């Protein structure tokens, strides 16, 4: 009996040690941004903090850099294969080269694209793969002075589409402004690129993106009607006296001032014009925003293309935590998150279904957002995003001659082909 009791006592006092709690691995992510504005930085500070709190298994450290410093740092990190998990850069040849070198993760199986606009997907796609998530658009739109058009007897509500005139309707408006003693178009062509905004917007409406990229591809040519036709259209505008006087000597900043001071009816400019209007326009200045005019005889598939820069985020192929990185970017695309992003940073969204607050629906940023969302075509990017340097340089150097008529359409395209080594 004694031995039995000892056995019972032994069994009753012996306990198994509790299992060691599993240590949860934390996915440490580093994210790089370029500091666009104070409001942009503040918004990302708050968003990342909230994301980290909601996801204890993920910790995102995000770093902000000035524009020039960022470009230098990104180029050095790319060369050394030391890119962070998530980083910011504009889509285009430089980014495509990084992908071709195997340093960018393909995202089509990890990012929910349901709410991305078609143009955003188009802009982030290369070689059939989705490679980036758009942060925002920087759309180029046609801004007009409401008072000048009204004084000239023009009501955009009488156009076939009040948000996008036909080219004939636009020309009729230019003539009405001219007859009323006002310039139709201000363009700061001393800087070259504002003129090229006009050139490529017209070329796109005439020939479309397929013709543009075919001309840039190996074995392509600029000897087509859309490239010569765009020169002819611009020179017709000049011959008819629709540009401001001395446009080739006017800077972009001065051109924006000409617009806000009521000396021209239209300016074709990026969304940064809103800041200039807020800072420099006189009290009571009223303006409208339009899509670039449509061409009845142009490419039917290009009449709703959007002309825009597209600032985007990318995931490095060497990240240890691709799922965590994708989770962060998918959270950024959430509808409520996007609405908050637009309201607080005044950025134009590259997603659909963003609802303006009821008390802000008439604010310019929400009008831009609505115009951008209705653009069902592809993305016409900025020059730096799609034109190789060996072509871009002569293209810019010929810009003023195109506008002044000092070069023929045939000479212009021949010089482009020569620059491309053809």
Tens-digit pLDDT profile for residues 72-120: 999 999 999 999 999 999 898 889 999 999 999 999 999 999 989 989 9
Domain parsing of the chain, residue ranges: 27-138+309-374, 140-306+381-419
How many Cβ atoms sit within 10 Å of the Cβ of residue 23? 6
Higher pLDDT, 69 or 20: 69
Mean pLDDT of 289-302: 97
pLDDT per residue over 405-416, tens digit each?
A: 999 999 999 999
Report residue 108 as tokens.
Answer: 């089509």
Q: Is the pLDDT of residue 10 over 80?
A: no
Report residue 71 as tokens.
Answer: 């470009």
The CATH fold assigned to 140-306+381-419 is: D-Maltodextrin-Binding Protein; domain 2 (3.40.190)
Q: Distance between CA atoms of 2 and 236, rounded to whole angstroms?
A: 116
**Domain 140-306+381-419 in the same topology as domain 27-138+309-374:** yes
The CATH fold assigned to 27-138+309-374 is: D-Maltodextrin-Binding Protein; domain 2 (3.40.190)
The predicted pLDDT at position 17 comes to 62
pTM: 0.85
**CA pseudo-torsion sign 149, 152, 157, 161:** negative
Task: Please name the helix (run of DSSP H) or strand (run of DSSP E) that holds residue 419, with its range, or none.
Answer: helix 409-419
The predicted pLDDT at position 35 comes to 81
Q: Report how far apart, in Å, the C-alpha atoms of 13 and of each of 7, 19, 129, 174 are.
A: 10, 18, 64, 98
Burial 38-47 (b: 16+ CB within 10 A, else e): eebbebbeeb
Q: Is 421 helix (H, G, I), strand (E, B) or coil?
A: coil
Q: Distance between CA atoms of 145 and 264, rounded to whole angstroms?
A: 8
Q: Distance between CA atoms of 109 and 113, rounded to whole angstroms?
A: 10
């Amino acid at each position: 009996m004694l031995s039995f009791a000892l056995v019972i006592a032994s069994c009753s006092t012996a306990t198994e040690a509790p299992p060691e709690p599993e240590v949860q691995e934390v996915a440490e992510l580093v994210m790089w941004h370029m500091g666009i504005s104070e409001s942009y930085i503040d918004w990302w500070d708050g968003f990342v903090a909230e994301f980290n709190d909601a996801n204890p298994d993920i910790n995102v450290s995000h770093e902000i850099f000035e524009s020039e410093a960022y470009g230098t740092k990104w180029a050095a990190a790319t060369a050394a294969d030391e890119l962070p998990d998530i980083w910011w850069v504009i889509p285009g040849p430089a980014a495509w080269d990084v992908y071709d070198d195997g340093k960018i993760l393909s995202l089509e199986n990890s990012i929910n694209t349901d709410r991305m606009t078609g143009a955003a997907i188009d802009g982030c796609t290369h070689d059939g793969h989705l490679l980036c998530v758009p942060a925002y658009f920087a759309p180029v739109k046609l801004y007009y002075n409401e008072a000048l058009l009204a004084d000239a007897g023009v009501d955009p509500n009488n156009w076939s589409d009040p948000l996008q005139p036909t080219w004939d309707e636009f020309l009729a408006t230019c003539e009405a402004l001219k007859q009323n003693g006002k310039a139709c178009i201000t363009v700061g062509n001393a800087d070259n690129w504002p003129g090229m905004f006009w050139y490529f917007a017209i070329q796109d409406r005439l020939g479309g993106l397929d013709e543009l990229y075919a001309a840039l591809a190996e074995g392509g040519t600029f000897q087509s009607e859309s490239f010569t036709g765009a020169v002819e259209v611009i020179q017709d505008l000049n011959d008819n006296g629709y540009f401001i006087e001395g446009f080739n000597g006017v800077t972009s900043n001065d051109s924006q001032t000409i617009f806000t001071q009521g000396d021209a009816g239209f300016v074709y400019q990026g969304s940064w014009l809103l800041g200039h209007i807020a800072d420099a326009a006189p009290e009571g200045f009223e303006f409208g925003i339009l899509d670039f005019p449509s061409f009845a005889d142009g490419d039917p598939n290009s009449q709703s293309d959007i002309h825009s820069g597209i600032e985007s985020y990318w995931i490095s192929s060497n990240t240890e935590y691709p799922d965590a990185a994708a989770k962060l970017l998918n959270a950024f695309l959430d509808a409520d998150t996007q609405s908050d992003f637009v309201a607080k940073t005044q950025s134009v969204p590259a997603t659909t279904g963003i609802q303006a607050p009821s008390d802000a629906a008439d604010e310019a940023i929400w009008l831009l957002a609505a115009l951008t969302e209705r653009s069902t075509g592809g993305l016409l990017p900025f020059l730096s995003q799609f034109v190789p340097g060996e072509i871009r340089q002569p293209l810019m150097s010929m810009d003023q001659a195109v506008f002044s008529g000092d070069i023929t359409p045939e000479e212009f395209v021949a010089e482009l082909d020569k620059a491309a080594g053809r």
